[in-house]
Structures are given as structure tokens and as C-alpha cells.
Structure 1
Amino acid sequence: MADEEVGGHSEPLHEKCSIGQIILKFIASVLLVGAAYYLFVGTFNSWTPEAEKDSLSLEKQDELNIRPFKKELGVDKPHLKKDSDVEVCDLSVGEWIPNPAGPAYTNETCNFIEPYQNCLMNGRPDTSYLYWKWKPNGCDLPPFDPLKFLNKMRDKSWAFIGDSIFRNHLQSLICLLSKVGEPYETYHDSTYKTRAWYYPSHNFTLHVIWAPYLVHYETIDNHGNASESITNLHLDILDSKWTSEFNKYDYVVLSGGQWFYKSTIMYENNQVIGCHNCPDMNIIELGVGEPYRKALQLSLNFIATSENKPFVILRTWTPDHFENGEWYNGGICNRTEPFKEGEINGDPTDLIMRSIEIEEFEKAKVIGESNGFKMELLDTYHLSLLRPDGHPGPYRTYHPFDGDKDKKVQNDCLHWCLPGPIDTWNEMLMKMVFNGESTGYALS
């Protein structure tokens, strides 16, 4: 009976389930359409131009990739900066990476290396310092191209104005150019500190002008003891060795330097206003920062208001790497590889001097650009700070330890071996001149 009931209702039951499924499918379809509509409308209503702007802003932030950088005097340094909506690579931020190819020249292929910087000739036993390359963050720094450089410099003249670091810098440039051609010397003063070289193939002249303070000075020698000499420094009079011929230069690179750390008596209007490192003279101690600022202000204002309008480049402060003393009392530099980021912070006074350079440069640049000047900052400080291995050290003289491995010798931990890290300064200089790219940044 039951089977009959089941069997008898089997067909009507089948018809009933089919109608129900159709109804259920219809209801489900309506619900799905409603849900889709709700989602679409909700999404559409949530979209606004501001939402797109926020998205683009995030993409832009990722593109700029503001990287953490070692703080110097409270300044964070990004590797890219905005300039008129054009991203400019900051060549001064990066890292030293291995370079198996080695330097572009050697002490045997370049005849213009002074004995004091000819570390290989002088017997330096390690050579690993030659196999590093500076890699900026976010952009490339191509190798120096001597032919391209000389072709662009046809009928031009350069002046490097400063101390012996600029002689070091200029000799690096001449060595990098030596693959294409060698200049002949057209001038030197009695001390060979101010000199000029000429490339007849391109009518191109290089000058190095000895002006270690940029302003006028006289040095009073104390019985031949360089460590005890006193300098009279006139902070309101520029050094005529560079100002007298400023009008003939197409490119000018200048910087103050370590000479400001020497014992000095400062003058304005021919009156003593103070001194640095003169404890027995009963004169007010001015330190080094403000005198350096005054020298830079006077120099940069002279340049920014000059009738001649060369491409002007201010190179930042050069660090030294003396350890366990200074140059005159046993300081050494015997490291054989670069520092890693964070291993060294730099001398606090050096950082102050560098910050003064940047501040004064930015002020002068505003004046200079309004007068048609092109002014740039060649920021070599930090990348140089990371290279304690690049100095001559004891190998400033020929085979200093011959016959006595334990002999006490004077070290040079300020100048740079050639070839060496200072060659990177000229790679940066070339990229700056050709591409108009800044290698520095402004203090906020």
C-alpha cells in the first residue's frame, strides 16, 4: 500500500519538485542581481577624484622611495629630490661596491701624480683600495669619459680654487684625461702651488690656484715649526690670487678647507676681532665656524655678483681619517677597506663646517641665479668619509719602512692616493656638468 501510494504519487511528486526548483532559481537570480547591483553602486559611490589622488600619491611616495639616511646635524637626506617637478638624483647618497675592473689609470700610465700621492710607487703593499666604485642610490654614475669631456671643454678654461686637496683633485682629473691626451704646463709660481696646464688639441686650460682660506692671509712662521705657526686672517679681504683673474674662467670649482683649523688671528678693517687656538695671547676665541662662514659669504657674494658668469661649483668639506693623534703627533691611517654605513659619524666640527657650506651656498645660489649664474654643490663629504683606506698614510714618501719595519713615520690621512677614491669626485663632476644634476642637497 505504501508502495502504491509512493508509486501512485511518484509522477505528481516529480512535477511538484520541478516547479519548486524553478521558483527557487528565480528567487536566487533576483538575489544575485540585487547583490551585484549593491556592490557595484557601493563601489561606484565610494570612488572619488580624491581617492584616485590618494592612490597616485602613494605611488609617488613609493617611486620617490625616501630612504633612511644617517642623520648629520639633524638632517635626513633622501636620495631623490624634487626640482620643478623633475626628479634629480642625489649623487652623494649611495654605497661603495666592489669594482673588479679597477681604476681607469695607474701610476705607470699617468705621469702627473705627485710623489706624495703616488702610493704604489712608494711601496704601499695592499691594493684592495683600488677596487671599489661609488654607486648612488636610484641612479647611475658612469665611468669618466675623457674624450667626451675634452670635446665639451673645447675653448674653455677651468679654475680649481683652494688648498692642496684641489691640487690632488686636479691631478686626478689630468690622469683620467691622460688616455686621450696630455697637457703641458704653462705656468707655476715659485712654490708650484699655483699652476696651469694647457691642452692644445682642444684649446682647453686647467688652473689650480692656491687660496687655502679664500680670503687674504699672512703666515707668521715660528722658527720653522709648522705646527706652531700663526696666520693673520683678514675676513673682509678676498685673496687676490683668485679674484684678480676670475673673469677669464668658464668653470670654477672652489672650497675652503682644513687650514681653518690652524692657529689664526682674525682681522676686520685691519683690527683684531679674535683668534682660534691662541691660548697665550689674551684674545677672544672665535672658533672656526663663524670665520669660515664669513670667508664663504664674502667669496660667494663676490662670485654671485660678478660680471663674468662661469659655471660655479662649491665642493664640500674634506674629512681626514687620522687615528690615535694628528698629522704632527703620530696620527695614523692604516685601514684597508671602506667603512660601512653607520660605522663612522664624522667629526662634529667637520659636520658643522659642512653645514655652513650648504647654508651659505643656498643663499648665494638665489642671488647668483637671479644674475644668470649656474651654481651647483659638489657634495663629496659623506662618500669620502667612508673611505679611510684611500689615503697615503705612511706611503707619502718612498718606501718609508725600508730597513726598519717598526720605524715611526709621519702619516698623510688627508690627501688621497692616485689612483684612488678621489677619482670619483671627477666622475661626479662630469655627470654634473653634462647632465645638470646636483650632487648635493639643501638644509631644511
Structure 2
Amino acid sequence: MRFPMGSSMLLLMLPLSLMRNSHESSSPVLSSVSNLNITETEKRCDIFSGKWIPHPEGPYYNNETCNLIIAFVGDSVGRNQMRSLLCLLNHVSQPEDISHRYSSDVAYFKRYFYADYNFTLGNLWSPYFVRANDADQNGHSYNSIMKLHLDEVDEAWASQVESFDIVIISAGHWFFRPVLYYENNQLVGCNKCGMENVTDFGHYYGYKKAFRLHLELL
């Protein structure tokens, strides 16, 4: 598959737990796919029968002109995916760690440059996609309550994402922890906060809002 010059691509990784627990009876996407009518031509098509046809103009990209930049944005799922890709690529080429050129927090914001292929691989840590900060008076812990501003993007990734050609986003299990939902700087609800006079919207509310804001920016 070939993509035109200057195009970008977005890949999503959705946690199975969120999909499995959905209250919707069926996915509209799956329903629409199942209702597609397969034409007679498609039935006769056999991708394993035929010959490769060379493209006389050559590839759109090569080692001199590609300059492709891929970013994994989100939580540890994306970070682990990037590390797996690094391991695979190490069999072919060794990258230069250029993280310090773009961030002072090189533990959570990584960039690797493959000079042999003019290719950059990056990881931007943002488990909620939106602006988040601690709300627990006892300090941060594994299960401490967090404030999520569902109408404000996390600038840690948003300020850099325009420089990437392909963005792979992942988020999920962080939304299961206790969180307070803020919109227009006003508390509108929560998930597992246990506070009086605060509506518990559950984790889907924040998850959908955060993803929608993220996708609108991209």
C-alpha cells in the first residue's frame, strides 16, 4: 500500500476490557461490515493468483527522502510496543537516542533516530491524553485520586504531535482508577471517588471524552 507524500496515518489500540464490558448490544462498525454485500467480482478474486506488476516510477520514499517519524502516544502499552519495535529494528540498524533534544524528561519522552534510513521513532507519555494532576491530599500513589480536565489536552504530547507522520495512540487502564472529572474548570462528576453530592459517571465517561478530544486535535 502506498501513501501520498505529506499524508499522515493514525492507529488506535483499544483495551479489550473496555470493549468487553460495553453495555451496547453490538458495535455499529461490526454491524455495518456484516451487512455489506459481496459482489460477484470480489467472490472470484484470488489474491494468490497472478503476477507482480512493477511500478516504473519507483517508490514514493527512499532512504534519502523518507524522513518518516512515528510516535507512540499514551500509556505503557504504547511504550512497550515501541520497545518491541526497537528490538526488531536493532537487527538491522542501531539508532541514536536524541530524546534530550526534545524533552528534559527523557524517561517518559523518548526519540530514536535511525540515520541509515532517515527514520525517527518516538514515545510520548500521556496516559489520559488530557491535562491531569493529583487531587489526593496524601500525595500520589498507585490508587490516589486524580483530576482530569476533559476539555484540555495534555500539552506534553499536543505540543509535539504535529511533527509526526504516523501516530499510534493507546490508553485504557488508567481510567479505572479514582478520578474527578472537570469541564470548564468545574467539577462535573467522577469515577470511584466516593464523594457526597458528586455523580459517579464511571470510567467510560472520561474515556470517551478524552479520546474524542484527542482525535479532534489530530
* Same-fold status (TM-score > 0.5): yes
Q: Map of 1:35-114 to 2, 5 A cutoff? A: 73-75=24-26
In the TM superposition, structure 1's runs of 4+ consecutive aligned residues that sit over 6 Å from their partners are 83-87
Alpha-carbon distance in structure 2 between the residues aligned to 1:191 and 1:178: 20
Pair 1:153–1:274, CA change in 2 (3 A): farther
Paired residues, number: 173
Task: Give CA deviations for 1:248-285 in whole Å, capped at 9, x if unaligned.
Answer: 11111112221111111110010000111111454211
Task: Give CA deviations for 1:176-228 in whole Å, capped at 9, x if unaligned.
Answer: 11110121211154360111111111111111001111111112455456244
- Whether 1:255 and 2:170 are equivalent positions in the alignment is yes
Alpha-carbon distance in structure 2 between the residues aligned to 1:84 and 1:236: 42
User: Normalization by structure 2: what TM-score?
Assistant: 0.68
Pair 1:151–1:176, CA change in 2 (3 A): farther
SS at match of 1:226: coil
- Whether 1:171 and 2:171 are equivalent positions in the alignment is no
Pair 1:255–1:225, CA change in 2 (3 A): closer
Q: Which has the higher helix share?
A: 1
Alpha-carbon distance in structure 1 between the residues aligned to 2:134 and 2:192: 15
- Whether 1:203 and 2:118 are equivalent positions in the alignment is yes
Q: Map of 1:231-310 to 2, 5 A cutoff? A: 231-303=146-218
Aligned residue number for residue 308 of structure 1: none
Alpha-carbon distance in structure 2 between the residues aligned to 1:198 and 1:183: 5
Q: Map of 1:308-347 to 2, 5 A cutoff? A: none
Alpha-carbon distance in structure 2 between the residues aligned to 1:257 and 1:279: 21
Equivalent of 1:181 in 64, 83, 93: 93
Amino acid in structure 2 at the alignment position of 1:244: S
Q: Could you list the runs of 5+ residues in structure 1 that have no partner in the other structure?
A: 1-69, 88-137, 140-149, 304-444
Pair 1:236–1:152, CA change in 2 (3 A): farther
Alpha-carbon distance in structure 2 between the residues aligned to 1:75 and 1:281: 34
Q: Could you list the runs of 5+ residues in structure 2 that have no partner in the other structure?
A: 1-19, 49-61
| CA RMSD between the two structures | 3.4
Task: Give CA deviations for 1:93-139 in whole Å, capped at 9, x if unaligned.
Answer: xxxxxxxxxxxxxxxxxxxxxxxxxxxxxxxxxxxxxxxxxxxxx99
When Rg is computed on C-alpha atoms for both structures, the one with the higher figure is 1
Pair 1:229–1:156, CA change in 2 (3 A): same
Q: Which protein, 1 or 2, shows the higher relative CO under an 8 Å CA cutoff with sep ≥ 6?
A: 2
Q: Which has the higher strand share?
A: 2
Task: Give CA deviations for 1:342-366 in whole Å, capped at 9, x if unaligned.
Answer: xxxxxxxxxxxxxxxxxxxxxxxxx
Task: Give CA deviations for 1:24-61 in whole Å, capped at 9, x if unaligned.
Answer: xxxxxxxxxxxxxxxxxxxxxxxxxxxxxxxxxxxxxx
Equivalent of 1:229 in 141, 144, 165: 144
Deviation at 1:245, TM superposition (A): 1.6
**Alpha-carbon contact 2:64-2:117 (below 8 Å) kept:** no
Pair 1:225–1:271, CA change in 2 (3 A): closer
User: Normalization by structure 1: what TM-score?
Assistant: 0.35
